[in-house]
């Protein structure tokens, strides 16, 4: 069972011969791949392209998997002397760091955080692994010019494999003034 707020897509890809099977989760995050041939397959999420896990399918058996997912939350601490202005854009993203255990290959996937009315941010449901959370505070361009970076931060985050799901509170992310 993969718990998520909205339906997502997933695919199984065979490792020896290329097979690709696609299904969409239901509103509760459940999905079924009918008649996948025996062998080793990699389950991925298509919206984020994050490899979720490797699965071995045995002949004549039904295989059940649980995909671990965590929701990330965070608050921003502004640098002394800098306050948020109306119209500024805040971008908060999570990306897969290369060499993450269980997430092979150099692929990078992004998840975008959304801002709550209380000023906190809620990130995407992510499987276990190592991520880099990046924050950038921009002033929109004026008169066709370039946007201006006011503050930024990068925080490494490890999403645990156990328990299987939950909320990981990153606390305050301290912003640094842009140079």
- At residue 45, does pLDDT exceed 60? yes
**Any residues with CB less than 8 A from the CB of 129 and at least 6 apart, and which?**
50, 96, 100, 101, 102, 103, 158, 159
Three-class secondary structure of residue 138 per DSSP: strand
pLDDT (tens digit per residue) in 119-143: 899 987 777 778 889 999 998 888 8
**8 Å CB contact between 172 and 74:** yes
Q: Which pTM was predicted? A: 0.64
The CA distance from 168 to 23, in Å, is 28
Three-class secondary structure of residue 123 per DSSP: strand
> Nearest CA to 63 among 23, 92, 35?
35
Residue in the structure block whose two tokens are 């919206």: 47
Q: Which residue has the higher pLDDT, 91 or 124?
A: 91
Mean pLDDT of 17-25: 66
pLDDT (tens digit per residue) in 25-36: 777 667 787 777
Residue 109: band (very low, low, confident or very high) from pLDDT cuts 50, 70, 90:
low
- At residue 48, does pLDDT exceed 80? no
| E runs forming strands in the chain | 9-14, 20-24, 39-45, 51-57, 69-77, 89-96, 110-112, 114-115, 121-126, 129-139, 148-159, 165-174, 176-177
């Amino acid at each position: 069972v993969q718990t998520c707020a909205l339906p997502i897509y997933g695919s199984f890809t065979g490792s020896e011969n290329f097979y690709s099977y696609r299904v969409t989760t239901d509103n509760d995050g459940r999905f079924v791949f009918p008649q996948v041939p025996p062998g080793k397959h990699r389950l991925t999420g298509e919206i984020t392209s994050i490899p979720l896990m490797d699965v071995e399918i045995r002949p004549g058996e039904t295989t059940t998997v649980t995909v671990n997912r965590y929701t990330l939350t965070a608050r921003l601490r502004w640098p002394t002397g800098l306050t948020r202005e109306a119209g500024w854009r805040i971008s908060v993203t999570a990306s897969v760091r290369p060499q993450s255990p269980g997430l092979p290959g150099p692929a990078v996937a992004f998840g975008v955080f959304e801002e709550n009315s209380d000023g906190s941010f809620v990130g995407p449901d992510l499987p276990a692994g190592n991520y880099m959370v990046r924050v950038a505070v921009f002033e929109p361009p004026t008169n066709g010019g370039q946007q201006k970076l006011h503050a930024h931060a990068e925080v490494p985050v490890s999403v645990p494999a156990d328990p299987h799901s939950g909320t990981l509170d990153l606390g305050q992310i301290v912003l640094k003034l842009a140079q």
